[in-house]
Amino acid sequence: METTDIEIKLHNTKTRKKEVFTPIEADNVRMYVCGPTVYDRAHLGNARPVVVFDVLYRLLRKVYGVNSVTYARNFTDVDDKINARAAETGREIGDITAETTRWFLEDMGALGALEPTHMPRATQYIPQMIAMIETLIAKGHAYAAEGHVLFAVDSWKQHYGNLSGRSVDDMIAGARVEVAPYKKNPMDFVLWKPSDASLPGWDSPWGRGRPGWHIECSAMADDLLGETFDIHGGGNDLMFPHHENEVAQSCCANGDDSFARYWLHNEMLQVEGKKMSKSLGNFFTVRDLLNQGYPGEVVRLVFLQTHYRKPMDWTDKKAKEAEATLRKWRGLTVGVEPAANASAAVLAALADDLNTAGAIAELHKLAAAGDAAGLLASAQLLGVLTEELGDWAGGPSVDLSAHEARLFEARQKAMETKDFSEVDRLKEAYLAAGLEVRMSKAGVELIASGDFDPAKLEAL
């Protein structure tokens, strides 16, 4: 262990309260996060859980040790959306999923996300899914009908809905569920479905077919992390039905009600105050933003400025402010070796249910205090100011602290002499160089804009 005195608290969706995180085994912390369905580029909303759980992964590695944390995030590479894309384009399914998987890893890497320990593909785990379905049938929790196998919600009725806080009766009354003659209950969900010759399929006791969506994660989590593990995460749009169905399948197959002990869900993303949608013209993939010139590190910092359990609003203004902040921090840390440990205040903020906004506020304090080594170590714990993400800044950044001190001193002198000509001259020069000038009683702050030209400072 690296930082054993840190107590992590996480908001557990399962209990609806913040709890002290106590792993099952301190030297074998296990986390599963639902990954993408690989048929297209990841949009901006898809990236939020990746960044959120990357920060949690980094924190767990810091507290329990790099080799004591196992993180699994899957790729769903068998799905009707993929089948539809193949039919539209005439391309092979394997080519589409391989290309899209590569895109996803490249785009998330550009945002500074570490690759998980395991990145299983659903098609690699078909035998495990079939075995779990057979167990559910044998225990009376599933039934075969017309080439399908369905989970019998009534067999788990007293528990089904506990994660999302819904009752089965309310779900039936309000849900838009597939009404099929082979279902015993409208809420019963598909574990296995038949495939004709035009669709991907595997041999099974119920005929040639393919798995339903929910069984994939249950089988992969069980195989990679065990029947019971520490943390399960994802966006809150997955809480029902996907995560609810995972709980039902896994608990019924394993004969207990444990599965994941802590459930974390991140809120959704908006763009300029509105829900992201193609109809509104505000739908962006991560690659779109990168191609438009937004550095991945900037996108990451914008994400981290909002707590994961609150809706996050992407705005161009936030992106420009994040870029200016990162330019300044990179300027402060040029040629600096990071401190041995991150700031205790930054660690405390992250340990308090991943309070990334609070952690960033502490980074600003470190920068204001001139603690470049502490700033660098603490920022890197959040996944920013890393060497991997620094290329966008165009080489070594400019340290603006000397210019800030110079303007501050000029202002102090002007307050005594009542001659503000030097203050005005410096301000005009800084503005012409593309710097925003902020002056207060506490001091002076120069913030670089996207138009910042360091060469224009040489004349000063």
Q: What is the pLDDT along the chain (460 residues), one digit of tens a residue?
A: 455 589 999 999 999 999 999 999 999 999 999 999 999 999 999 999 999 999 999 999 999 999 999 999 999 999 999 999 999 999 999 999 999 999 999 999 999 999 999 999 999 999 999 999 999 999 999 999 999 999 999 999 889 999 999 877 777 655 555 678 899 998 999 999 999 999 999 999 999 999 999 999 999 999 999 999 999 999 999 999 999 999 999 999 998 878 999 999 999 999 998 888 777 878 889 999 999 999 999 999 999 999 999 999 999 999 999 999 999 999 899 899 999 999 999 999 999 999 999 999 999 999 999 999 999 999 999 999 999 998 787 544 566 788 888 999 999 999 999 999 999 999 999 998 888 888 887 788 888 765 677 778 877 7
* Residue 408: its H or E element: helix 401-417
- DSSP line for 256-304: SS-SEEEEEEE--EEETTEE--TTTT---BHHHHHHTT--HHHHHHHHH
In terms of domains, do 300 and 441 share one? no
Residues 225, 298 within the same domain = no
Are 251 and 369 contained in the same domain?
no
151 and 54 within one domain: yes
Q: Which residue is it, tokens 């004709």?
A: 196
Residue 2 lies inside a defined structural domain of this protein: no
Indicate the number of domains in the chain.
3
User: Could you tell me if 434 and 451 are in contact, meaning their C-beta atoms sit under 8 angstroms apart?
Assistant: yes
Specify whether 357 is located in the same domain as 249.
no
Q: Beta-carbon neighbour count of residue 356 at 10 Å?
A: 23
Report yes or no on 286 lying in a domain. Answer: no
Of the residues 374, 393, 412, which one is the last residue of a structural domain? 393
Full domain range(s) for residue 358: 293-393
Residues 231 and 98 in one domain: yes
Q: Same structural domain for residues 167 and 302?
A: no
- Cβ(55)–Cβ(382) below 8 Å: yes
Q: How far apart are the first and last CA of the chain?
A: 50
User: So what's the pLDDT on residue 460?
Assistant: 78
Q: Does 200 map to a domain?
A: yes
E runs forming strands in 47-181:
69-73, 142-145, 148-151
Looking at the structure, do residues 386 and 405 belong to the same domain, yes or no? no
Q: Is residue 1 part of a domain?
A: no
Q: Which of 355, 374, 393 corresponds to the end of one domain?
A: 393
Domain contains 94? yes
Is 184 inside a domain boundary?
A: yes
User: Are residues 228 and 300 located together in one domain of the fold?
Assistant: no
Structure tokens of 447?
Answer: 């913030």
Do residues 55 and 143 both lie within one domain?
yes
In this structure, the chain runs to a length of: 460
Statement to judge: residues 44 and 149 lie in one domain: yes
* Residue 274 forms part of a structural domain: no
Q: Final residue of a domain: which of 376, 393, 410?
A: 393
CATH code at 20? 3.40.50.620
277 part of a folded domain:
no
225 shares a domain with 340: no
DSSP labels, 304-323: HTS-TTS-EEE-HHHHHHHH
Alpha-carbon span 231 to 55, nearest angstrom: 14
